[in-house]
Amino acid sequence: MTSTAIPAQGTTFSIDTSISGGPSFTAISNIKTFSGFDGSASEIDVTNLSSPAKEVRPGLEDNGQFTLELDRDFSDAGQTALLAARDSQTGKQFKLLLPNGENAIFTGYVKKFSMAGGVDQVVKGSVDIRISGSVTWAGM
């Protein structure tokens, strides 16, 4: 086998639910899909009258959003914490832990936690988290 691909199965995503002190991450259950870190740096125009063509430099990094699709569980502490963060508009720390031990920790704001359902389906939720600041990657 030559592939070094990381399986998504076994990935966990957590929210910091501590009141004070160090972080205490609570797992969010029933996650079906995730995507994120989709931002990009802005461009700063540094063109001047001596420039032979347009000149640009990268601006500040923008880490974008992190999105979850999940099956709703109204008794899950992680999902409840997501709703509370959305309602309070409070920045929270989040942790993505991949099966290979790599993890990303970032601060974000829960912008959306919507719900949908239909015939022969379970109740689903969609969560959008706006990342604020840097994303820190580390191995376990």
Q: Which domains does the chain have, with CATH numbers?
A: 12-38+64-138 (2.40.10)
Mean pLDDT of all residues in 33-44: 96
Each residue of 80-133: pLDDT tens digit?
Answer: 999 999 999 999 999 999 999 999 999 999 999 999 999 999 999 999 999 999
CB-based contacts of 128, cutoff 8 Å, min separation 6:
65, 66, 67, 110, 111, 112
Average pLDDT, the chain: 96
CB-based contacts of 31, cutoff 8 Å, min separation 6:
11, 13, 68, 69, 70
Dihedral (Cα; 93, 15, 126, 97), 10-degree rounding: 90
